[in-house]
């Protein structure tokens, strides 16, 4: 997916979070959005997802050579973020099956294989409410990475993960996301070391 920012800006009340942003995110490439805590990285990511209306300028999305309406952008993306919750009454298997009703999953893997790959095979039939915070993050990664969508948005994607989890995260990106447009919002180089482009939101203040 191609995303183009044209003089884009977002403000809350009188405070501009970002302004005069001109940038093009190209298909199949990986980008990192960096900046201090509270600088607006997540706000920009939400604007790129189409879920947050900007205050000035324009954002456009293209899938292939076709323009994508803002109200349909969600069909082409998945997102991992601290503010995105999982359905804790479901098991991991049930959660991915439910998610599959809205977003197609990679056909080359079964849901059981996906759960196993993220290290949750032994807990596949346990309700997510009984998972540790790290296990919940793993199932968030699974639903996003294994979705067959062209855009992957990652907001502090390794929250609650230990060193093994960081390694898993990077292997998932390398093995299953090579053809996706990836945008990571983070201050941790270990979460975006694979990105070919690094953008500081401070450049748009």
What are the pLDDT digits (tens) for 71-113? 999 999 999 999 999 999 999 999 999 999 999 999 999 999 9
Domains of the chain: 2-204 (3.40.50.300)
Residues 160, 103, 144, CA angle at the centre, nearest 5°?
Answer: 20
Q: What's the sign of the alpha-carbon dihedral 69, 72, 76, 81? A: positive
CB 193 within 8 Å of CB 170: yes
> Distance from first CA to last CA of the chain, Å, rounded?
26
In this predicted model, what pLDDT tens digit does every residue of 157-198 receive, in sequence order? 999 999 999 999 999 999 999 999 999 999 999 999 999 999
Q: What is the model's pTM?
A: 0.95
């Amino acid at each position: 997916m191609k995303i183009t920012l044209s003089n884009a800006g977002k403000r809350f009340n009188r405070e501009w979070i970002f302004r005069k942003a001109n940038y093009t995110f190209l298909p199949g490439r990986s980008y990192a959005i960096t900046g201090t805590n509270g600088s607006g990285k997540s706000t920009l990511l939400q604007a790129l997802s189409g879920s947050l209306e900007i205050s000035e300028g324009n954002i456009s999305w293209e899938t292939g050579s076709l323009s994508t309406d803002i109200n349909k952008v969600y069909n082409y993306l998945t997102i991992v973020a601290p503010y995105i919750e999982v359905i804790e009454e479901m098991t991991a298997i049930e959660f991915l099956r439910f998610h599959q009703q809205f977003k197609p999953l990679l056909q080359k893997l079964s849901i059981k294989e996906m759960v196993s790959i993220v290290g949750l095979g032994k807990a596949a039939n346990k309700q997510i409410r009984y998972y540790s915070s790290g296990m919940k993050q793993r199932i968030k990664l699974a639903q996003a990475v294994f979705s067959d969508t062209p855009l992957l948005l990652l907001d502090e994607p390794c929250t609650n993960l230990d060193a093994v989890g960081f390694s898993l995260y990077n292997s998932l990106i390398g093995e299953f996301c090579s053809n996706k447009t990836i945008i990571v919002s983070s201050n941790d180089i270990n979460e975006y070391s694979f990105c070919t482009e690094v953008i500081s939101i401070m450049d748009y203040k």
